[in-house]
Amino acid sequence: MDGDGGGSRGRRSWRPTPFVAASAALHPLLALLLAWQWHWWPVLLAVLVADHAAIAAQSLWPRSRLLGTNLARLPAAAAARDEIAITIDDGPDPEVTPAVLALLTRHGAKATFFCIGERAAQHPALCRAIVAAGHAIENHGQQHRHDAPLLGLAGWRREVGDAQRELTAITGRAPQFFRAMAGLRNPWLDPALHGLGLTLASWTRRGFDTRSADPDRVLARLLDGLSAGDILLLHDGHAARTGGGEPVILAVLPRLLGALAARGLTPVTLACACDPDRNRSGAEPHRPHL
């Protein structure tokens, strides 16, 4: 959902999107047509292949909402407050994350950390430090398995559910959002998230800081066309290194935070931006400083 309120969804029964429902209905229809007119099989096969190609395309598009609910941008109320969200994936990292926290504190900014369950279990004190500093920890899977979409509904429930229990036990707060590994998913993810009370969250712009060792290029990608309501993606885990060996996020973040403050944009957590009480009252968050 682009600009929806996000957060934990209600306990209404899960319903597929029209795209998923149509795809599901297509399969028995094609089977009936094949039984009725078997010589139509080349055309029916082509339709089936086209349907699966469309599903695959949507699975590879992180911002797609055809497979289910997807927070691809902050709610309109948050954008009206000149808020943006900095999201940081793949941690916690014992070397990088403390330095990221120090930079965020120095600039008075809040961020959302999408943590991997196994890494969180290895560094629980670091996770608690993230929360104690006023940031949010959200769910990025238990093992960060890129093959999770191949495991069906049970695989998603295991990968996401294990992380949900791990992160909740460590921080004392159940995550509200899930980010798919590399943005990859399939139609089975939405019912799994619904059962766990989670909302999928993607991003509006990313720096590709796990691939690019050039901080200038990473920063340019994040700032190009930046506006209120954007969700930015960076990484403290799996971070690329500059020629001098510095994690790229540490070279980019001070300049990014300075640019946001200069533009009057306030970095807040996803939970804060999507809080329905704030969105109704129009309460202002703490403003970052240069």
Q: Looking at the annotation, which residues are catalytic?
A: 89, 235
**Residue type at 234?**
L
Residues near 9 by beta carbon (within 8 Å), at least 6 away in sequence? 69, 194, 197, 198, 199
Q: Which residues pair with 231 in a beta bridge?
A: 85
Alpha-carbon separation of residue 231 from 53, 129, 142 (angstroms): 28, 23, 23
Q: At which residue do the structure tokens 């014992």 appear? A: 94
Buried b (16+ CB within 10 A) or exposed e, 76-102: ebbbebbbbbbbbbbbbbeebbebbbe
Is residue 167 within 8 A of residue 115, CB to CB? The reply is yes
How many residues does the structure list for the chain?
290
Nearest to 237 by CA among 246, 249, 245, 252: 249
